[in-house]
Structure 1
Amino acid sequence: MTSTSLRVLGIDPGLTRCGVGIVDVDRSRRGTLVHVGVIRSSPDAPIGDRLAVVAAGIRDAIATFQPQAVAVERVFAQQNSHTVMGTAQASGVALLLAAEAGIPAETHTPSEVKAAVTGYGSADKRQVQSMIARILRLDAPPQPADAADALAIALCHAWRRGGATVSAGGALTPAQKAWSDAERVARTYLRSRA
């Protein structure tokens, strides 16, 4: 990592599969893959044991790669309340570990993340995986999708935090405009629910 780059740990929270992706992003918004993986826990294990597995994996990533920021996908409402609960619990663990390590952490909605990397807030998993491979100059898309999602979350955070939302000519690119629109829609939705 250079002094002009930002190292971000992106987390796609989940109990069975928790995606972990770490990227270095320089001032020109160029991302470099540092690490990607998935923390897995057995669906048959007690919830406390599963959360301990997720915590150990995130703690190891923080200690090994020393990110400067942590970005976690924001939990959103789904039909399956059991899935939402597990995702929220894993998200809470990630945010707690970042706070304990003194690392700033933020959450990003799925539509913000998709818009940041694909230019389309409703992109599917395959489109996200394909764009992550292109952005990070990988030979193949990261597998499984949770791994690619974690990298997308990290890139979204780095690009947003860096304030590089305007291109050199001063105008938004199509992807940046879609990202800005997705953020506006997410903020409006959250305000309407408050």
Structure 2
Amino acid sequence: MRIIGIDPGTGILGFGVIDAKQGGYRLVTAGVIKTPAHTPLDERLAEIFDGLTEIIAETKPEVMSIEKLFFARNVTTAISVAHARGVAMLTGHKAGLVISEYTPLQIKQTLTGYGKADKKQIQEMVRLNLGLSQVPKPDDCADALAAAITHAATTRLGVV
């Protein structure tokens, strides 16, 4: 199964594509879509749509695994990220992908077995699961790969 993981954001949206097979996981590609600060929101969202459309067309995933939002403090940031998340989900839907959503807690528990794991622990587990020599950079990219691995692990276990 080929999965694209998404770490939503308006300024930086992380993506990571993996192949999940019985023997484990393999990195296909990963990176970020960056949009310039102080650009009108509609233009930023269009860039996200165009970038994701291209990535999906090139990599042909079957599933999109996207992180659910959890913001306790900054409502303005949450709204901005929600816009990007909506565009990402729409892009996946239009491409015919199955969309699965996971909370940060679910991702942490799946990768580390501990719901309060820190970013460094998650990044190291992404590195280990994918057999990489280094942690994927930037953090948004590693977070997107964590979302993809979470979907692969939970479907393999029959949780979804």
Identify whether the pair has TM-score above 0.5, normalized to the shorter chain.
Answer: yes
Count of aligned residue pairs for this structure pair: 159
Q: How does 1:18-167 map to 2 (within 5 A)?
A: 18-28=13-23, 30-163=24-157
| 16-25 vs 118-127, greater mean Cα deviation | 118-127
CA RMSD for the aligned pairs? Answer: 1.2
Task: Give the C-alpha shift of residue 121 in structure 1.
Answer: 1.2
Instruction: Give how far 1:78 is off.
Output: 2.7
Q: Read off the aligned partner of 1:59 and give its amino acid letter.
A: T
Aligned residue for 1:9, secondary structure, equals strand
1:96-122 CA deviation, whole Å, 9 max, x = no partner?
111111111011000101111111111
Q: Distance in 2 between matches of 1:134 and 1:162?
A: 18
The CA distance in 1 between the partners of 2:92 and 2:66, in whole Å, is: 10
Q: CA deviation at 1:164?
A: 5.3
1:15 counterpart SS class: coil
CA separation in 1, counterparts of 2:57 and 2:72?
A: 33
Shift of 1:77: 2.8
Q: Distance in 1 between matches of 2:101 and 2:139?
A: 19
State the alpha-carbon separation in 2 of the partners of residues 146 and 153 from structure 1: 11
SS in 2 for 1:22: strand
After TM superposition, the runs of 4+ consecutive aligned structure 1 residues lying more than 4 A away are: none
Unmatched segments (≥5 aa) in structure 1: 1-5, 166-194
Structure 1 Cα separation of the partners of residues 33 and 101 of structure 2: 19
What percentage of residue pairs aligned between the two structures are identical? Answer: 38
CA distance in 2 between counterparts of 1:31 and 1:123 reads 21
The alpha carbon displacement at 1:162 in A equals: 2.5
Distance in 2 (CA, whole Å) between partners of 1:137 and 1:131 is 10
- SS at 2:50 equivalent: helix
Q: Give the alignment's TM-score, normalised by structure 2.
A: 0.95
Equivalent residue letter for 1:25: A
Question: SS at the partner of 1:77?
Answer: coil
| Larger strand share, 1 or 2 | 2
Opposite residue 34 of structure 2, the aligned amino acid is R
Superposition TM-score, scaled by structure 1 size: 0.79
Matched to 2:147, the amino acid is: I
1:2-30, Cα deviation, whole Å (9 max, x unpaired): xxxx10000000011100000001124x1
**Paired letter, 1:48:** D
Is 1:8–2:7 an aligned residue pair? no
